[in-house]
Amino acid sequence: MIEVKGVSKSFAMHGNSLPILNVNHWQVQRGERIALIGPSGSGKSTLLHLLSGVMTPDEGEIWVDGQPLHQYSEAKRDRYRAEKVGYIFQDFHLISSLTAKQNVELIMPSNWSKKQSSEQLDFWFERVGLRDRQHHLPSQLSRGQQQRAAIIRALIAKPKLILADEPTGSLDWETAGDIMSLLLDICEAEQLTLLSVTHDLHLAAMYPKQINIQELNEIVRREAV
């Protein structure tokens, strides 16, 4: 599903190049659910941004579902992201003037019929426990409910790859556990590949596989020695 080969990424800072990520080789199988852990600034979110096509590597190859992201133009990466990737953020990124349902409708496939769209919306809002909240604005939802709506938005079209960047970082402990469990259960049922960044080791332990970014990022590994 994912293969990263010889990938490096640096950022310009005060006129200098600051190396952030250096991954020699990494593979992720289709349907795996992996928690990425490690300290802040260790390259976890950068890795997710590279896999989503938001960023491009300075060097190396990134293959996702057979697609060479490292060779793609910005337009092709945008199309790849729209068709293949579901992104879940810590701060939800729901449009405040739209209802939960309208926020999801924005990203639904254009080739779905009106009937199919309506059925899928009803199914997914029921699935995440928001059946009676479809017409509520984000401000009328709890933070946990907002993240459930964001999960629908990311998963409803069943993209091949789900990327979650601290998806429970702004939630209380109990709600965070419920949301993470929901996300894991859905991805397992749909056989979606899930990579989730988290600082919470208790939440990471819910995943079938945990990877410390130090195992992947040569830069962090050298600094730890």
Specify the CATH number for the domain of residue 164: 3.40.50.300
Residue 17 lies in a domain: no
How far apart, in whole angstroms, are the C-alpha atoms of residue 56 and residue 71? 9
- pLDDT tens-place string over residues 48-66: 999 999 999 999 999 999 9
Q: Which residues of the chain have pLDDT under 50?
A: 225
pLDDT of residue 222: 65
Is 41 within a domain? yes
Domain count for the chain:
1
pLDDT of residue 225: 47
Q: Do the bridges between strand 33-37 and strand 193-197 make them parallel or antiparallel, or are there none, so unpaired?
A: parallel
CA distance 80 to 77: 5
CA 77 – CA 178 distance, rounded (Å): 33
Phi-psi category of residue 31: left, alpha or beta, with phi > 0 → left and psi -120 to 50 → alpha = left
pLDDT, residue 223, reads 62
Is 161 domain-assigned? yes
Q: Given this model, what pLDDT does residue 39 score?
A: 86
Q: Is residue 168 part of a domain?
A: yes
Whole-model pTM: value is 0.92
CA-to-CA distance for 147 and 128, rounded, in angstroms? Answer: 10
Taking the CB of residue 83, how many other CB atoms lie within 10 A of it?
A: 13
Q: Does 22 reside within a domain?
A: no
SS3 29: coil
Full residue range of the structural domain in which residue 220 is found: 29-57+73-224
In a domain, 24, yes or no: no
Res 14: pLDDT = 80
